[in-house]
Structure formats: structure tokens, C-alpha cells
Amino acid sequence: MSRSPERQPANAAATPQPARMLALATAGFMLCFWAWALLAPLGPTLRDELDLTSFQQSLVVAVPVIVGSLGRIPVGALTDRIGARRMFPIVAALTILPVLYLGHLADSLAEVLAGGFFLGLGGTTFAIGVPFVNAWYPPGRRGLALGIFGIGTGGTALSSFTTVQLAEAVARSFPFDLVAGLLAGYALAARLLLRDKPGRAVPAGSLLARTTATLRMPATVQLALLYAVAFGGFVAFSVYLPTYLNSAYGLGRSDAALRTAGFVVLAVAMRPVGGWLSDRAHPVPVLIAAYTAVGALALLASFELPLIPFGTLAFLGMAAALGAASGAVFALVARLVPTERVGSVTGVVGAAGGLGGFFPPLVMGTIYGAADDYTWGYVLLAATAGATAAFTATTVRRQTRKASDA
């Protein structure tokens, strides 16, 4: 007698398989994010080697981020259709090509930009892992599981800590060779060991039709806004905080970079905490509390009080709140979105988060250039966070009630 479809997911969830799949997905996500972020630490080196202007240097760093963010939309939809077991090894293997090209062949601005364009592929793995992990875990444990998967964003910190040091200690191409080798090993391991959840729902329709339908879902727009503020805020501080600490407090480059690394590590560590809290209570109150905290701490930062203890408290507090909010957003995705559409929605939401990090640094730089002061930049951040908290407490809460009643 054949096993009933209803029993297969229950038996699968009772085995250690979900934990193994989560570990494999997180490792792949971290490695691909490491590759995705290889150019950023080498920005000053490339500027000197290729005689780049400040705008050209910014463009070199921005291209992989933009491509990786927007590329999550089709990659998420493809993952819904063909599964992460195929997508993870394919994307990891294809990312090896631009990594090696940038490490050994690219020696002009045009070539670096071309390599950076394809390097953006590594940033799309976020939209592969979220639906994969979501399918393996029951609703009451998805927040924590997705938060743990989100630790893979720490691959950007790995790049920041190691790329320049390895390039100087061994050879300029060595960081690229190391990452390429690790990606090759992971692509093989993923092909052999990754398994999509038995009986997972596969959506019907073309890629374009499914993407259009996803964009029309009210939950997609709401979740994209929430993640644009949460993860976008994290990205913005990761990029701009060294400049701010140098300008506002006169810190040296190494000291500012070290403090920024602390900000990044704390925010990454708080993602699973936000997911865990969302499992225990509900994502909505977690998000309201997190955005309210960001708003209050942004106001504190606007006064430019002494860095010890007030400035440090403000920035680390915002790191914790933004990290927790990022984890809670995807706990909310698991509650609002049908399983067969999680990849498509994650692609759109992830793109919003990645792109959301570009606007705050531009605003802060513009305000500082015009007023020689950062106060209004932080006031705008506080207003944005406060408005997002209010939006969560009203519109998003109503949406979750409708989903619960459906």
C-alpha cells in the first residue's frame, strides 16, 4: 500500500533532515554572499590601480549589489518552479566564473564592471534559500529557521575581514581563488546532499505570469516596504557608518571599520533572535517594537552626543533592532504567503531590501554637503522608522488578520 501524501511531510519533519538542509543552505548562502562582496573591500586598491574617480569607484562597488538585488526576482520565481536542489549548485557554480575573471583577467574599468555585473549572481541566493528553508519547517518554527539562514548575510563581513588582508599577505588573486575553490566544493556538495521537501507545492503558469501575480499581491508590497526599511537600513549603515564616524567623530579608518564590523556582526546575530521572538509571539509586535526602537535611537544619534557611551549605545541599539526586524519580516512572509509562492515573494522583498540600502547614504551625503551637519538625516530616519511602525500596527496587522481568517 502506498504511503498517503499527508504522512510524508510529517515523517520528514520528524527526522534530522530539516536541520541538515538548513545548515547546507546557510553555508551556501554565506559563501555566495562572500563572493558577492569581494569587490567592495578592494575599492581603494582598484581606484589606485585603474586611476578611478570617486564616482567610478562607487559604480564598481554598486553594480554587483544592484544586479544581485534585482536578480532575486527571477531567481526566486525559478526556485518555486524547479527547486533549490537544482538552483543552489547552478548559481554557486556559475558564480565561480566572474570570481576567477575578476581575480585574474579584469584589468580595466570596463572589464571590472562586466565581471561585477555577473558577480551579482551570488547575491541572488537569498531568494533560493528562503523558500527552501520555509518548506522544510512547520509554521511554528519557520521564524527561527529563516533567521538562522539569514546569518548567511555575514558573508559580507567575511569579505570585509579577509579580502584585503589575504591579497596583501599572499597575492592579489588569492581571495578570488579561495572563494572560487570553496564555491566549487559547495556546488558539488549541494548537488549530492541537498533535497527539496517531499511533496512541495509547485506553482503553475509562466515565469512572467507568476511574477506579475506576485507583484499584485497586497502582502508583497507591504513586506517589501518593511524589508526595505529593515535590511535597507542595515545595508546603509554598513556602507556609510565608517564615513560618518570619520567625519562626525574624527575616528581613523581602521577604528571606524572595526566599529562598523561590530555593528554588522550584532545585526546579523539578531536575525535569528527576531525570528525566534516572532515564533513565540507574532511578527507584528516584534516589528512594531523594532521600528519604534530604531526611531528613538535615530533621534538620540541626531544630537551627536559623545561616542562613549551615547553614540555607541545608539548605533549598537539600531543594529540589534534592524537585525531583529529583518528576521521578523521573513517570519511574517511565512505566515502571509502560500508556500508555492514564497520564492517569488522573497525575490521581490529581497530586492527591495538590497535596493533600500542605497538611498540613505545618498541622502546623508547630500544633507551633510549642504548643511555640514548630519542632524536632519537622522531626523528623517527616525520619521521613516516611526511611520513604518505605524504602518505595521495598522495596515500590516489587518493583512495578517485577513490571512488568519482565510
Q: Taking Cα atoms as reference points, which of 156, 159, 127 lies closest to residue 337?
A: 127
Q: What is the value of pTM for the model shown?
A: 0.80
- Amino acid identity of 26? T
370 in Cβ contact with 349 (< 8 Å): no
Q: For residues 277 and 273, give the distance between their C-alpha atoms in angstroms, rounded to a whole number.
A: 6
List the Cα angle 264/265/266 in 5-degree steps.
Answer: 95
Cell triple for residue 336? 502571509
Q: Give the 3-state secondary structure of residue 38.
A: coil
Give, as one character, the DSSP assignment of residue 63.
H
Q: Taking Cα atoms as reference points, which of 375, 361, 289 lies closest to residue 324?
A: 289
Q: Does residue 3 surpass a pLDDT of 50? A: no
Radius of gyration of the chain (CA): 21
Continuous segment of H or E residues that includes residue 397: helix 397-405
Q: For residues 343 and 73, give the distance between their C-alpha atoms in angstroms, rounded to a whole number.
A: 8
In the prediction, which pLDDT does 12 show? 39
In the prediction, which pLDDT does 253 show? 66
Q: Does residue 9 surpass a pLDDT of 50? A: no
Range 99-104 average pLDDT: 95
- Give pLDDT tens digits for 223-234: 999 999 998 888
Q: Does residue 21 surpass a pLDDT of 60? A: yes
Cell triple for residue 38? 569581494
Cell triple for residue 397? 496587522
- Give pLDDT tens digits for 46-65: 888 888 887 787 788 888 88
Cis peptide before 360 (omega within 30 of 0): no
136 in Cβ contact with 21 (< 8 Å): yes
Query: What region does 106 belong to: left with phi over 0, alpha with psi -120 to 50, or beta?
Result: beta
- Give pLDDT tens digits for 280-312: 989 999 999 999 999 999 999 888 889 889 889
Range 191-214 average pLDDT: 82
- Give pLDDT tens digits for 146-185: 989 989 988 888 887 888 889 889 998 999 999 999 999 9
List the Cα angle 314/316/321 in 5-degree steps.
Answer: 90
Continuous segment of H or E residues that includes residue 219: helix 218-249
Q: For the beta carbon of residue 404, count every other beta carbon within 10 angstroms.
A: 10
- Give pLDDT tens digits for 102-117: 999 999 999 999 999 9
In the prediction, which pLDDT does 4 show? 39
Give, as one character, the DSSP assignment of residue 113.
H
Cell triple for residue 268? 546579523
